[in-house]
Structure 1
Amino acid sequence: MKLQKGWKLLSSAALAVVLALTGCSQTAAPTQPGTEATTGQTPQDDGGQADMTAMLRLNLKTEPPSLDPPKGFDTTSNEVLNATMEGLARLDKDHKPQPAMAEKWTVSEDGKTYTFTLRDSKWSNGDPVTAQDFEFAFKRILDPNNAFPSAFLAYYIAGAEEYNTGKGNADAVLVKAFDDKTLEVKLNAPAGFFTHILTQPTFFPVNKKVVESNSKWAENASSIVTNGPFKMEDWVHDQSIKIVKNDGYWDKDSVKLAGINWFMVNDENTQYQMYKTGQLDKVSSVPNDMKKQLIDSGEAKVDSDASIYYYRMNTKMPPFNNVNIRKAFALAIDRQSLIDNVVQGKQTRALAHVPYGFPEPAGGDFREKGGDYLKDNDIEQAKELLKKGMEEEGWTTLPLVTMTYNTSDGHKAIAQVLQEMYKKNLGIEIKLESKEWKVFLSDQRARNLQFSRSTIPADYGDPINYLELYVTDHPGNRINYSNKEYDALVEKIRNTADETERFKLMHDAEKIFMDDMPLVPIYFATKIFMDQPNVNGIVRHPVGTTDYKWAEVRKK
């Protein structure tokens, strides 16, 4: 049962139609419906050669919170960082980690010691990139005084967690530069996905001399020093960023662009008009009321993405301190109706936490094997759980709930429909609140938000990435969730070498987490994008940041 194509998101009459729908759910497929397993590249355009003088014109939407690699732990910052900096490894066009700043590496027989040999390469200021820069950068990630939100990604390194949590010191972190070209990293336990982790911007090097001499080095174009395919030329805060080809980059011959111009236009309709009039070469989202039409016509493309869209419930803020009330909120929404009529991007209903896209050791997909942990649109059960939770707390009236999202037409539309679903299905009045991205992210990380939106893409290719986020006091745990049994199980997973056993333990951990239900999973996401016909070679990774290293603008 579906609504007409012309359904308008913000129309109150249409909202009533959506909320009247019941029984539209369907079983989730093992892969994202309607998506293709691609290399992430734009289809080849055989007409014309690459215009080496072209600037790729993109929309960043908003100001990046930080261009200091371990601090800018968000999709906006990472998009710029991935173009201007590079770590030991980089994902190739087939999404596999390949040597980058490291020319090669070896792994010990026990899988715990990695030895990297660096290339001859230079920073944008002319300094050589050294193994000492990497040692400094890795230990800087973990310095508790920096309180970087991405520090947990380095916990696989021996001594890392102890240093970051104040129980150790930098000298005990087993990262060592033996000379300018040789870096050794020792792990607590074998981790076959470690080189994939190293492609994440958190692990990009920083110029030791520059960082130590200027604490604000990453705040302006004039002071940023980078080592990637492009280098910073101009940054007008809250307006634009301009980067140009870095002729000192080791693989400069693979770069076919003169540079990239990013605008910061946080309005879907304006962005779309800029694309249609040729002012933008690519967009990564489209207006909601046009999405289905653009996808059906083939103008907008859909690709797979290992990520989840959900709302976090702060477990220390009433009413979400009560597990039954949390479960009621998770059960009381119609995800399929939301996908079909609001999101419209061939997403899959999220009835668990870990998305599709992570292969099991014996074959198959982690999500497919794990199955679902809740029912979609189970209104009667939701009402019973809400009543039970309120009785447990002694409430006759539910405490005020504020649903917070970062400013975006798409997030606003989803929040409005969820607001109406909760009112219709549970009789709950919810307040909506919009915050600018940088403020929203800061407040959420500080655990100040009661009920807040998130999109969590995988940082690396393993399900543990999603499970580790909710260990007690983890920096990614922005809702004060705590379960000692869960914490112990995640720690056991981290130190289990046998992959079959490790995956079994990860399924056990997800079950504990979903039984506690500290979030409202909504859908497993897809990438929706449009590229101009003469744009080629943009690589969209299902797990990882969009890469412009190989992008081309063809001569017309």
Structure 2
Amino acid sequence: MLLLAIAGVGWAINFSELPPADFTFDNGSEIQTIDQARATGEPENRIINACFEGLLSTLPEAGWEQKYPFGENVPVSPQPAAAERFEVSEDGRVYTFHIRKSAKWSDGSPVTAHDFTFSWMRTLHPETASQYSFQLHYLVGALEYNTAVVKLGDPLEIELDLPASQGGRRDPIQLFPRSKIVRGQLVRMVDPAPLEHAADVDADTRAAKDAKHLEARVFIVNVAEPGAREELRAFSLDVPRSQKLFSELPIEPAHHVLPDFEKTVGVKALDDHTLEVTLINRTAYFPALTAFYPLYPVNRKCVETFGSPDWTKPENIVGNGPFKLQFRRIRDRIRLVKSDTYWDAANVKLNIIDALAIKSETTALNLYLKGNLDWATIVPAATIPTIKKDYADQFHTAPQLTVYFYRINTTHPSLKNPKLRKALSLAIDKQNIVEFITKAGESPAWTIVPPGLTGYEGPPPLAYDIAQAKALLAEAGYPDGSGLPPIEILYNDVDLHRTIAERIQQMWRQNLGIEAKLRGLEWGVYLDAQQNLAYQVCRAGWVADYPDPNTFLDLWTSENTHNQTGWKNPAYDKLIAAAAIEADTQKRMSLFRDAEKILLEECPILPVYFYVSKNMVKTRVKGFCPNVLNYHPLKIIRIEEPATASAAIPGTDFYRGDSSVISGNQSHRAVAQGGAR
């Protein structure tokens, strides 16, 4: 038996100071936030889904445990949550959600339709800068509000820039509570003269400079404040500059001039328990979006009292989900406790949950084998053959709608040529990666959209082809890699990502004569670098938000905040926009196919493989539901101790970091030592 010196591996997890948790899992890297409007990662997703709940929730059907055998994916679908039911209009555009009267926040106050209108406004507000705001663009008027686009005749809301003593913001950097809002109709705009740009200024820089320049725009608005007569007033985001353009009226400073959310955006609280949502077009997967955390509600009083990010601190946060955030210890854990105010608390079986911050897959497996984890969300690839053989009743693996890929910064001088980018893709032997590195049954990704989506057949795949890659590289001006500077591959510092990057580095060197450098970063720093295009090639993954090709393809439109490649293609944008309003399913899928063909030709991304889930789950854990989204609601998990639990002995299996798992007592459940499992 080989024991790993656990005390020396460099993490801060402590199992001796706390009362035991009912259920413990590894949550990957440290979360960046649990603000539903700001989060983007899978570790954040798990915690947000425990503490908050949307109108609907993604769940399996009743009786699924009796119907589906071990190892088989279980269908999941949006089911009633904060809303007890909903209706859809005949044209598919208007949804009416009925908020259940038993839904409460963790402070005991009722969850209402107004909580959703406030929360969706907050997510869409330009100052929030939510990367997931586009998920609300299906609503009438949402895109215009999110991008502050106004036109003559529009009803406006103007947030005045006032001192706090006169109704202004308490804190200038806090969006909520907002300063005094005035409303009216836009009757005129006075713009500064257009900027002149040098010929060598790129489009993104021009757009940024133009936007800053337009802050001097003057908005003349017919304002009708309650109890007062209508009057023309002028507003600007940059009063000193705007005064040089306009002198007919005093110009009042404003934080924001936006379309009037209440009048223009398709979400309205008809009363405390009725929410009406109006979409631009029929959107079949909209119910699934309401079960996705960017559309979850936040407690307005909590947000406005504590500000951002302080409202998310354990001592402040108010949620509406099945669990509450008790505390968070950096480099240790998040502890969740059952919420007694949750509407379905009677069916929540776990009282205490620990989500451990574990970056290393090796560490996670060791803690699992030692009995300190009930669920390991991923395991080292090298151990999978042994795990499949010796822990078959604990290893849950099945296909999921997730793609592993590399982003390419198409604005980087070395990577602007699509022929070079395509050569990089064609030179990756993806079959080698899934066969010898990942080893869990993943399939090579020759396209970006995973197989298995009903009605969709993608374009011809971008297969492994060294000869074509060499020819394209030469056409791009770099025969056999000559003259091309080394390319840097960025990844979040996890064992598997580093190993894959090393293999791709080797393939590019052997197949194309291209050198690559590797750079691993901590999760938060990596996310920032990716968002700011501070990379050349960057590892990424995307889990389907809903089962439709659009969730994989609308990412790459020019203005999508998740694009993060700098790539823009007007023809691609038009195809995705056309698919959004196409009612005929066959025509819609054809539009997606044409769009994906463009994506594979210009290669702003390099698909590598399609995931399978790789979960290790103790046999005493029930309600763990394998599915194509790899989403596992904590509210349905329960613990059933075997009758022989008292006779079980401590686990003695450890993973050394190579391909061997040394088996101790595999026939017994590993019992946690020191309390938490």
Query: Do structure 1's residue 228 and structure 2's residue 321 form an aligned pair?
Result: yes
Does structure 2 conserve the Cα–Cα contact (< 8 Å) formed by 1:295 and 1:301? no
Matched, 1:550 2:611: no
Alignment match, 1:388: 475
Partners of 2:98 and 2:273 within 8 A in 1: yes
Match of 1:338 in 2: 433
Counterparts of 1:259-274 in structure 2, within 5 Å, are: 259-274=352-367
Q: Distance in 2 between matches of 1:265 and 1:112?
A: 43
Quick one: distance in 2 between partners of 1:443 and 1:321?
19
Letter in 1 for 2:130: F
SS of residue in 2 equivalent to 1:311: strand
Partner residue in 1 for 2:158: none
Q: Which residue number corresponds to residue 216 of structure 2?
A: none
Q: Does 1:379 align with 2:360?
A: no
Deviation at 1:206, TM superposition (A): 0.5
Partner of 2:599: 513
In the other structure, the counterpart of 1:141 is 123
Runs of 4 or more, structure 1, over 4 Å off, are none
1:371 Cα deviation from its structure 2 partner: 5.0
Deviation at 1:306, TM superposition (A): 0.2
Q: Contact (CA 8 Å) 1:315, 1:321: kept in 2 or not?
A: yes
Tell me how far apart the structure 2 counterparts of residues 502 and 166 of structure 1 sit (CA, whole Å): 29
Query: Pairwise mapping of residues 157-556 of structure 1 onto structure 2 (< 5 A)?
Result: 157-168=139-150, 169=259, 170-171=261-262, 172-215=264-307, 216-297=309-390, 298=392, 299-360=394-455, 366=456, 369-376=457-464, 378-390=465-477, 396-543=482-629, 545-555=631-641, 556=645
Quick one: distance in 1 between partners of 2:637 and 2:484?
A: 52
Change (3 A) 1:296 1:340: farther
**Structure 2 residue matching 1:466: 3-state secondary structure:** helix
Return the offset for 1:391. 5.6
| Contact in 2 for aligned 1:315/1:481 (Cα 8 Å) | yes
Aligned length: 494
CA distance in 1, matches of 2:627, 2:633: 8
Aligned to 1:88: 55
Deviation, 1:218, is 4.2
Distance 1:54 1:65 in 2: 23
In structure 2, runs of 5+ residues without a counterpart are 1-19, 61-74, 151-258, 646-677
1:374-397 CA deviation, whole Å, 9 max, x = no partner? 112x111111111111269xx951
Equivalent in 66, 71, 79 of residue 98 of structure 1: 79
- The 2-side partners of 1:523 and 1:229 are apart by 34
**Any idea what SS the aligned residue of 1:438 has?**
helix
Confirm or deny: 8 A CA contact 1:58 1:262 kept in the other structure.
Answer: yes
Q: Which moved more, 1:184-193 or 1:418-427?
A: 418-427
What is the CA deviation profile of residues 174-212 of structure 1, one whole-angstrom value per residue up to 9, with x for unaligned ones? 110111101100000001110001111111101111112
Q: Counterpart amino acid of 2:342?
A: Y
2:517 and 2:23 map into 1 onto residues whose CA distance is 40
Matched with 1:5 is none
CA contact 1:339–1:347 (8 Å) conserved in 2: yes
Match of 2:22 among 49, 55, 60: 55
Q: TM-score, normalised by structure 2?
A: 0.71
Distance 2:300 2:512 in 1: 56
Q: Deviations over 1:24-77 (max 9, x none)?
A: xxxxxxxxxxxxxxxxxxxxxxxxxxxxx9621111122111100121121110
CA contact (8 A) 2:449 2:458 kept: no
Percent identity reads 35
Cα deviation digits, residues 276-332 of structure 1 (max 9, x gap): 111000111112221122124425231121010011111111322001100110010
Note the C-alpha offset of 1:541. Answer: 3.4
Higher mean C-alpha displacement, 433-442 vs 171-180: 171-180
Give the corresponding residue for 2:94: 113
Q: Deviations over 1:435-493 (max 9, x none)?
A: 00111111111222210000111111211111110111310110011111111111111
Change beyond 3 A, Cα 1:539–1:336: same
- Using the alignment, how far apart are the partners of 2:377 and 2:389 within structure 1? 17
C-alpha deviations, 1:202-239, integer Å up to 9, x for none? 11101111112222244421111111111111111332
How big is the shift at 1:151? 0.5
Q: Which has the higher contact order (CA 8 A, sep 6+)?
A: 1
Asked if the contact 1:460–1:544 (Cα under 8 Å) also holds between the matched residues in 2, the reply is: no
Which letter maps to 2:551?
A: N
1:112–1:186 Cα contact (<8 Å) kept: yes
What amino acid is the match of 1:192? A
Report the secondary structure of 1:140's partner residue. helix
CA distance in 1, matches of 2:638, 2:147: 44
Cα RMSD (Å): 1.6
Q: Matches of 1:493 and 1:75 in 2, distance apart?
A: 28
Contact 1:67 1:218 survives alignment (8 Å): no
1:321-368 Cα shifts (integer Å, max 9, x gaps): 0011001100101111111111111011100111123111xxxxx2xx
Report if the CA contact (8 A) 1:539-1:548 is conserved.
no
CA offsets, 1:507-554, max 9 Å, x none?
111111111111111101110111111011123431363211110111
Q: Distance in 2 between matches of 1:159 and 1:416?
A: 46
Conserved 8 A contact 1:78-1:545: no
TM-score (structure 1 length as normaliser): 0.86
The alignment partner of 1:92 has SS state of strand
**d(CA) in 2 for partners of 1:521, 1:254:** 41
